[in-house]
Every structure is written in structure tokens, then in C-alpha cells.
Structure 1
Amino acid sequence: MRRSRTVTHAPDGEFGPDLAEVFGPRQSDGGPELVQLLTPEGERVRHPEFDREFSAEELRGFYRDMVLTRRIDTESTALQRHGELGIWAQLLGQEAAQIGSGRALRPQDFAFPTYREHGVAWCRGLDPLKLLGLFRGVDQGSWDAQEHHFGNYTIVIGAQTLHATGYAMGVQRDGAVGTGDPDRDAAVIAYFGDGASSQGDVNEAFIFAASYNAPVVFFCQNNQWAISEPIERQTRIPLYQRALGFGFPGVRVDGNDVMATYAVTQAALQRAREGSGPTFVEAYTYRMGAHTTTDDPTRYRLSDDVENWKLKDPIARLEAYLRRNGLVEDGFTDHVAAEAAELGERLRAGCKQLADPEPLSVFDHVYADLPPELAEQRDGYAAYLASFEGAQA
């Protein structure tokens, strides 16, 4: 029989040596269970369960996606600093987790994001200017969720996991699971962070998903920090192991390895489509930037940690692999860099041209049929606005 482990607290409030043994120093390597196909040095490795082959075209596509996603992030951060956006949630360092998982989705699959899944939005064909409109405050997320199969950004921490589970139960009842038709069978993916895993909504979603065998993948980007709270203060076991307590499998993948993230997510999604129920995927990564542009991470984390994770940069490791194996022609990376520069220019110009919303549009796109009390409020507000027409300044 396996002995239980006792976890103690040190006098200064830090976890005692038993927990340090579980996690290791800052969990820098992700532990022995980490699924990895590409090392930080760009060396290809094999995995007994999740290994797969990638074409040169696929890998070049991953590289392009990550570079362009990073440019969306850096341009948006700069726009916020210049007062063009009210706030921005950075994803720097998490590009592989988002692109790998986003590209594993089929057209009929549905993604429920938090407020940081800019790379997944890119994979679902969403114009990044739509994201800027939300953070600029000129709309409430105006993209067509059904067209892109990508839900609205969720600010309430963890709420989207319940939305995703309910949607997955609907997919199940619509007969779009386990039919064997690859164009019909669908899965749902819910994105959240390590901090959200402490929320009641997330744990309730786990319970419902397990109880109803819902076709949903819970994709946790463990970027080590819930704003200023480190992962050690949130859990006494690796996050992916929590899934077993709810009755479904969990797996930890190197979230800075786009190959491994794709392979693991693809397997989890296929498992859901076949009717085998939910899976928890913990993408072990690191938030290189701030939580949002209102945050100062230098107040709570060490620069040594950041420098250590820079050596695991997801874009650099894939570029090293591509070059080492002759999978890119001369000028490929320059071409992608030029494309990124054009994207940045379009975002800068487009952001400043985003029109302010019509005041009455706040009543649109909420209800299919506006309730009478809201219709009365709308008409009253319209009359109030009309009273200013023709007024002299």
C-alpha cells in the first residue's frame, strides 16, 4: 500500500520540505510526468503515448502562428501604454500552449476562452481587431461566436468552464458525439489558468462533466502565477492530478512545446468526440509578461525565474529545430517577421479607427426578444438622448 505524504507548513508561512520534494525548486522542469516532444534546446524526443509525426508544412505553420500571435500581444501592450486601450491581458511566453491546442481543434469543436486566449482566437480565424475593440471599450466582444466556434472572453474567473460543460452536454444530447463521423462528432475545450483552478465554478464544472461524461477538455495554462500568488500556495499536488479525484484522466504537457501541446490536446479532443468523456490538460508554461498591463510583476517574482524561462522560449526552440533539420528555406523567418510587422501596422492604424459605439447599442445582442422592462428603459434613454438634439453648446 502506498503511504500517504504529510505536508507541513514552515514557521514563515512557506510550505515545508515534503511539499518542496513534490514540486521541486519552482517546478522548473515540470516533473517526470511532463509530456515533451521538443526540448528547450530544439532537440526532438519521443513519447510512448503521445508521439506523432509532423510535416514541415505543419511546423512552419506553427512557427508563423506563434510569431504573429506574439506580435498581436506586443502591439496591443504598446497600444495600451499609449492610451489607446484601457487594459490588455498579456500572453507572452504562452504562445505554444495556445497555438498547439488551438490548431488541434476541428471546425465543429467549440472553444470557451478566458480573457487571454489571443492565440486561440487567431487559430479560430478571428480578426485581432475584434479583440482590440473589446479592450478599447468600444464593444462587448462583437465577434460571431457561432461563426468562429469561439466564445466571448470571460472576465469572471472560471465561469466559462461551466458554460463549456453545459454546451458539451448539449452537444452530447444533440447526438454529435460517438457517431464515428469525423465531420459531425464534436468536442468542447475550456481554457483557464492555474489561479482559476481554485474557483468553485471550475470544480463544479469538473463534477458535472464527470457525472454526465461530457465531451469537454479542460485546458489549464499553468503559467505559475495567479496574478501575484505562486502555484505553491494554491495546490499541494500537481494540478493535473486533481482530475483523478473527479473521475477522469489528467495529463501534464510542456506548454512551451507546440508539438507536444498539439499532440496531447488532439488526443484529448478525440477522446471526447468518441464519447469517452472529459480530460484535464495542464499546459506547464510561464507568464513572461505581466498578468495585465495594470500589474507590476517585479513586485512579487524574481528576475532569475524570468531569465530561466526565457531559455525555454517556445518560438526560439521551434526555430532551432526547423533550422537544424533544414525545414526552412533561406528568408522564411524574414518573411514571417515582415508579415508580423505588417500585422502590427494594421493593428495600430485599425485600433485608432475603431468607432465609438452608439449609446443605444448596449441593448442589442443580449436577448433574442428584448424584455418589456428593458424595452421601456431603452425608449426612455432614447428620449433622453433626443432631448439634446439641436441644443446649443
Structure 2
Amino acid sequence: MRRAAARDSHIPLTLKNLDLVRIEEVFRLGALRDGVRFATTDIRLPILGQVLPRIEIVISGPGFRKKITVRVNQASPFCFDGTRLSALINDEEREVACEQFVDDDRAPTGMYNFGLLRENGTRSFVFDYHTYCAYSCDFCFKESEWEVLAIQQTKTGSYKANFDECLRYVDDHAEDFHTKYDIVWLCTGSITNEALELERHCRMATALRDAGYTEGIYVSQVIPPSLIGNRDRRIEYLTTLRDSGVSRFNSGIEVVSADYRRRLIHGYKADITFADYVDIFTDAVEVFGTGNVGSCLLAGIEPPEETLRGLETIAELGVVPSPTVFTAFVVKQQQIPFVYDLDELIRVHVKFNEIIEQYRLPVFSGVFSLA
């Protein structure tokens, strides 16, 4: 919807690519990139240490409804008043219907949250028995969870205790897994003990299958060192996962450029090259099948052509790309620049959808999704 310009209340945007996508998509991508500022005092958010306050919102229009999580940023050109999101674009005030999404069970404050056991969107569940990831990349979304745990002085327990609790949950809620979930994720952090990590993933997958769960079990982990440069070991490792009941293997590339990987990733994981990922995903597709391997890349954290090169390369292999729009979760992550403007982000979004269509892969749609 267009309205008379209100230049004093908006930070102006000039977009050459405005007409490449529908206006709701412009606002969705813009809010993911820049956050939103409030034009209402009706929303209250907790202050938790260095965590950047954020809310979940639903942007809607004719044939369009997408939920995203956005940080609160009073310097954002996108203004939220509780019922609409507005911005001054190309000298016109534009707006879309928008409402805050609050899930009293999963995220009672309206902020995106995490946890050992959690529902993760529609018909999806996560077991996060490795609460902390051993690699702690500068851009990681879990930084906010770790900060909250520290502020609240929450005892995370031993990983063995966490894992045992997850196993008990499967036993106690078998019927839920029969009826409520199409995807179960294992999990979002990695440990350095390769054998133990594999054992836990396999035991959890087996427990779910023994409980009668027949839908997707997705493992998400950092590539173990023994798989680099050793195809026999890769096939052995991946086959062990598959035979335990895992149906899809995921590992986040996140950053394609070797230079940017060295800047943003630390320790062993920084040494994994894009070529290493290509080798591993080639074998993973052989073991799990086309469309049963996935990877996340971050749009905005490195030059766009690097991200697009990565997306097209893995799509050609039969790997499902699930790119997300880079966003800061804690104060220190605001020092990581978003390296291109909204115009370029719109172009990358369009190119990604062309890649997905070309290789006939499913579109990943989540609260940070480039799609």
C-alpha cells in the first residue's frame, strides 16, 4: 500500500531493484538485514546482557505470509507500529501488513529462543544435547543462547546428562513424534570427540525409530577431521549415520571465501575449505540421496558472488541449500559488517530462487531464510 510520504518519520531508501520482487518480500529482506524500529510503546522486551532484543513478526499480503525474527534497531529504515511495517522507499511511504508473533509456550517474550528440547517451527523438533558448540564462530546464532544462559546462571548440566534427558523425552513422548512432527533435528552444536558425537547421533536416531517415528531425522554437525581427504572414512561415517535411522546429513558451510573463513571462523573449522565441503557433500549425496543432504550459507557476510557460487555448486550436486540472511544476535556481532546493501540482497534472493528452480530442489523457508 502507498501513502503520502512522511519524510520526518522515516530514513529514506533508494532501491533500483524494488520491482524485482513483491513489496512484502522487500520488507521481509529489509527487516532481516536492518531490523525494525518501534513506533509503539506497547511492546516490552527483556534486557539480557549483551543479547540484542529481537521479536518475531509475521508479514502478510495477498497470497503471502512469512514469519521472521528481527532485531530491534532504532536506526532501521523499517518502522513497526504493531499492525504494519512501513518505510520511505524511492520517495514514497510504503507499508505492508505486519503483526508480532508470540508463542507463549515456546517463546513467551516474543523473542526467538533456544533450549535443550524445543519445537522449531511447524511440525519440526530439535534435540540440542550439545548446548555449546566447540567452534564458536564469530557469527553464530547460538551466541545469544550462551549469553542468556550465562546471565541467568543456568546450569547446563553435563552433555551426558543432557543426552540422557533427550532419550527419556523420546520414550515419554512417543505419541507426539507419531503425530506432530515431520522433521526431528539432531542438533545445532558440535563437540571435538568425533566417536562420541557419532555414537550419540546414532543412539538418538535409533531411539526415535524404535519409538515408531517414521519421518525425517536430520543430523546437523561440523565435519569431523577424519573425513577430510579420506573418502573411505567419509563413506563409513555417513553410512553409519544412515543405517542408524538418520535420513538427512547437514553441515553448514556458512562462508565460502577462504579469506572470510579465516576472518570469522576459528580453530580446526577455519581450515575446512569449500573444496572439502564439495568432496564430503558428493559422498553424502551418494549415501543419502539427492535432496537428503543440506547446508546453510550466510547471505551478507561475504561478497555476493562467493555466496552464489557456493549455492550453485552444492545445488548442482543435489544438496539442498538453506541460505539465511546474516543478522547480529549479540552486541559484539554488530562489528561484523553486512557487506552489501538491500538492493544487492534483493538480487541475491532472486538469483537463489533461480538456482533452486533450475535444479528442482525444495525451498527452505525459515525465520532467517534468504528464500
Fold shared per TM-score above 0.5: no
TM-score, structure 2 normalization = 0.33
TM-score, structure 1 normalization = 0.32
Q: Say which one has the larger Rg.
A: 1
Name the structure, 1 or 2, with higher relative contact order (CA <8 Å, separation 6+).
Answer: 1
The structure in which a higher percent of residues are strand is 2
The structure in which a higher percent of residues are helix is 1
